[in-house]
Chain A
Amino acid sequence: MEKDQNNILEEITQQDYKYGFYTDIEMDIFPKGLNEDTIRMISDRKNEPEFMLDFRLKAFRKWQEMTEPQWAHIKYKSIDYQDIIYYAAPKKKKTLSNLDEIDPELIETFNKLGISLEEQKRLTGVAVDAVIDSISVKTTFSATLAKLGIIFCSFSDAVQNHPDLIQQYMASVVPINDNFFAALNSAVFSDGSFCYVPKGVRCPLELSTYFRINAANTGQFERTLIIADEGSYVSYMEGCTAPMRDENQLHAAIVEIVAMKDAEVKYSTVQNWYPGNKKGEGGIFNFVTKRGICKGNNSKISWTQVETGSAITWKYPSVVLMGDNSIGEFYSVAVTNHYQQADTGTKMIHLGKNTRSTIISKGISAGHSNNSYRGLVKMIKRAENARNFTQCDSLLLGDKCGAHTFPYIHNENKSSIVEHEATTSKISEDQLFYCKQRGIDSENAVGLIVNGYAREVLKHLPLEFAIEAQKLLAISLEGSVG
């Protein structure tokens, strides 16, 4: 049995990261290093208005005063911020309004990733913004959405075409000095997605951003801003991959969501950055700040994430429940294998009356990895009748990995109820034997059991994401039972 499992583990560890290829595209790349000139160059290259440069410089100055946070349960060699390229973009020939003008290599790249940039070939019902390295290369269905008044474009386009919205909402949820990585992003971010859904509009398509790191030695700093005006609804998906490299690459993104009265935003992520090899070399350092604010009454923000990639994951998609009766949700599956480290969870900040939050977190650790859930539930005095329910489970596959749970609960209010439950366990021999007795081999059995374990979370994903996520879970973990 033991031997059998080791063999399977071996097979799994040999499994290649199938998105690890590199595309040779003609690139516009800045030299390494970060100073005010770099920031001016980024702003200049993007032809930004004055307020953007001011914003960036202010953030940069704040960032210089800040230090990297140390509280997470992760270890990594310190990052040399001067050894990173802060801007890398596929060379533009003209403005990309037509698919014919995109480098065919790029189209091929996205085809290989299973993301078609040709609208007619795309599965119906999904609009995509494709971001490669620092730049958004193509946003599909923009025109269709525009008819409904929905703005869905790259962040850069929004800066040019909707500066009022950008000025009003950018950094309103994640302030520039919120944390070290948020400040860095605010200073150097190059692109990302922007979405505005007007009052009363239910977005008919799944909006999706696909992030791809391609160039070597670069950092990726994208920024997403979603505004759901009163009574609107939008479902947003985010996917990401990167080539296999021995170096660690930094990804420090920001996502901000604003939900006005009666609005609902559903944000789903399948994070599959390159996790490094089985010895723990290479892989993406993923330091991300994601936060939404339920600004109006009866609004709802729901985060669903499947985290399988990255050498280091540091992210806490959070909801500030400001409006009365607003709802925050966090559903997470985090898988770590080999030497991956994840410290992820959420913060639910209850400010309004009758606010509700639900947290379901499923951690799966294998190999030599460490997987931590860190969550904060806070209820202030004003948050009468607020409710939180948290369930976070850990599954350990193998005896060299770690699974940790660090919940913080702060309640100042007698009518509020916070409930937290957590369990840690492994796949039982009985379950495995039961599956095998029905003819299912170890690999498939583990895949089946892990997917069952994660189902509570996966069922919150949009359908086509759910299928991808299930496959990913199976790929990263089949058979790794200890």
Chain B
Amino acid sequence: MTPILTENTFKEKMLKLFDDNLRSNFSSDNEYIRNIRKQAIGDFVKFGLPDTKTEGWQGTNLSKPLMLEYKQHFKPFEKDVDVEKIFMCEVHDLESYLFTQLNGWLVFKDESLSTLPGGIVVGSLASAFKAMPRVIENHYARYSKVSNNGFVALNTAFAQDGLFIYVPDGVVVDKPIQIINIINLTENLFIQPRNLVIMGKNSKLQLLHCDHSLLHKQSLINSVTEIILTENSELEYYNLQNKDSDSTLITHAWVEQHSFSRFLSNTLTLNAGIIRNNMNVNLNGQGCETNLYGLYLVDKEQHIDNNIMVDHQKPNNNSNQLFKGILDDQARAVFNGHILVRKDAQKTNAYQKNRNILLTDKATVDSNPQLEIYADDVRCSHGSTVGQLDPGAMFYMRSRGISEDVARMALMNAFASEIIHKINIAPLRNRIDEMVTKRLRGELSICDQCILDCNERRKYSFDIDLSRINC
């Protein structure tokens, strides 16, 4: 079955598709999952998909990709895929537990859920639904909230597979877990991966998420990742996004942090079609650390939109956002950063920074760093800059005999390196550094790709309509 969706009849099609699947592919779901699906489809109908008038979505127009026809697959493909034959990870010397998702479904050879040293369970979420119903009930769909756009609800209604990670209390995972999402089909594809990461108390993990497009046409990915960090756990979450111009990637990450947990995310966007990353972090404990980094290098018609919400619900937490981007040609970048400090969240330290370099007059940046603060004993600041490479630095380098091109490259590299150096996995850092350099030289074309996260509540912007003023 290969249903088709277009924008006009999107809702009806999704509804019909949902009803069909409820009787077929979703019929083996347990009651908990089934109820969640039913509620989600209702929410989806209620909220619909966002357009450029929706709060927080003014900068990103999805009407074109949503007009296309895509296929969706609600059953796994053949099981015996030798991923290594179609794909090789290019990060050298990176030792990792590697998992692959092909066209939306997790690929496995022997077991759909592996147990790693220390009792870590990693593998297919579809299998976890069945094998670990208690854990699923405790966590699945508990952290993602229905926001003002229907994407999260849509994913929740249809989600079938993705990566499931459970790290037991006190376990430090000895090497990174890596998930590679590959799209390899000769038809337009819409997939909705769903990931769940559960970090036990005092546990520690580095997670690397890459997406690759091999043979493919137009693709639309709407992913949701839920992450729960229980007390004193630590997660580093790296996303590598290297998408081609025919792809639309919408990611949502919902991160729930309990006391003394530490979360670091680093989202590296090296190429994009349209990318919209939503990241929501709820600081629902005390003594938490949150560091969110992002780097985007976009050119041609590429579009990147990072939408961040850090919700300080409890006192004594520190959060920090730093997003930097370089834009060439007609590329467009949007940054919506939101820090919310609730009434009881005293002793909050929250920082937010967005820095952009425009290389042409056709590239556009919209930067909206926002603070919403209801507690008085806080230190919050944000900053945003849009500009060019420092002419003073350019001049200084050229006066030492360095050619303009080399100087420009050096300054752009320096600008990007601040984010690259936040990567704590050395082989990955080296590889990214290399890729960024290649990217800045215009030599990087392969498609790597990755996942991010979600948000709520945004105001309409309030521009002056110049056409009405008698200038």
| Residue ranges of A at the interface with B (Cβ–Cβ < 8 Å) | 69-73, 172-173, 175, 177-178, 291, 293, 295, 316, 318, 320, 322, 347, 349, 351, 374, 376, 378, 381, 394, 396-426, 482
Contact = CB atoms under 8 A, between A and B. Distances in A.
Interface of B: 343, 346, 356, 358-388, 459-466, 468-471
A411 B386 contact: yes
Contact of A322 (B343, B356, B368, B471): B471
A418 B381 contact: no
**Top-3 shortest CB links A-B:** A396-B376, A417-B387, A175-B468
B393 to A, nearest CB: 14
Contacts of A399: 343, 346, 375-377
B364 A411 contact: yes
Contacts of A406: 368, 370, 459
Contact of A419 (B381, B385, B464): B385
Contacts of A403: 371, 373
B471 A351 contact: yes
Contacts of A482: 376
B373 A175 contact: no
Nearest to A393: B381
A402 B385 CA distance: 25
A422 B367 contact: no
A396 B358 contact: no
25 contacts: A70-B460, A73-B459, A173-B469, A178-B465, A293-B469, A295-B471, A320-B464, A320-B466, A376-B463, A376-B464, A394-B373, A399-B346, A404-B372, A405-B369, A406-B368, A406-B459, A409-B367, A409-B384, A411-B386, A414-B361, A416-B386, A419-B383, A422-B382, A425-B378, A425-B380
B370 A410 contact: no
A407 B368 contact: yes
B371 A178 contact: no
B371 A418 contact: no
A238 B385 CA distance: 34
Nearest to A411: B386
B384 A378 contact: no
A409 B386 contact: yes
Contact of A413 (B358, B368, B374, B377): B358
B388 A414 contact: yes
A291 B464 CA distance: 10
A378 B370 contact: no
Contacts of B363: 412, 414
Nearest to B388: A414
Nearest to A423: B381
A414 B359 contact: yes
B368 A408 contact: yes
B373 A408 contact: no
B386 A404 contact: no
A399 B378 CA distance: 10
Contacts of B364: 410-412
Contacts of A412: 361-364
Contact of B366 (A381, A408, A417, A423): A408
Contacts of B469: 172-173, 175, 293, 320
B23 to A, nearest CB: 42
A405 B340 CA distance: 11
B373 A404 contact: yes
B365 to A, nearest CB: 5
A125 to B, nearest CB: 33
Of residues B384, B460, B462, which shows the largest number of chain A Cβ atoms within 10 Å of its Cβ?
Answer: B462
Given A374-B462, A376-B462, A410 B366 contact: yes
A271 to B, nearest CB: 20
Contacts of A295: 471
B264 to A, nearest CB: 24
B466 A349 contact: yes
A276 B435 CA distance: 60
Contacts of A422: 369, 371, 381-383
B369 A407 contact: yes
A421 to B, nearest CB: 5
Contacts of A405: 369-371, 382
B468 A178 contact: yes
A408 B358 CA distance: 17
Given A411-B386, A414-B360, A404 B468 contact: no
B374 A402 contact: yes
Contacts of B383: 419-422
Given A396-B373, A411-B356, 20 more contacts: A72-B459, A73-B459, A347-B464, A376-B464, A396-B378, A399-B343, A399-B375, A399-B376, A400-B343, A402-B373, A402-B374, A404-B372, A406-B368, A411-B386, A412-B363, A416-B386, A417-B388, A420-B369, A424-B373, A425-B378
B460 A71 contact: yes
A415 B360 CA distance: 8
Contact of A418 (B370, B375, B378, B386): B386
B371 A71 contact: no
B66 to A, nearest CB: 24
Contacts of A397: 376
Contacts of B370: 404-407
B387 to A, nearest CB: 4
Given A399-B346, A409-B386, A404 B371 contact: yes
A409 B368 contact: yes
Contacts of B374: 401-402
A398 B459 contact: no
A378 B385 contact: no
Contacts of B464: 178, 291, 318, 320, 347, 349, 376
Contacts of B375: 396, 399
B459 A401 contact: no
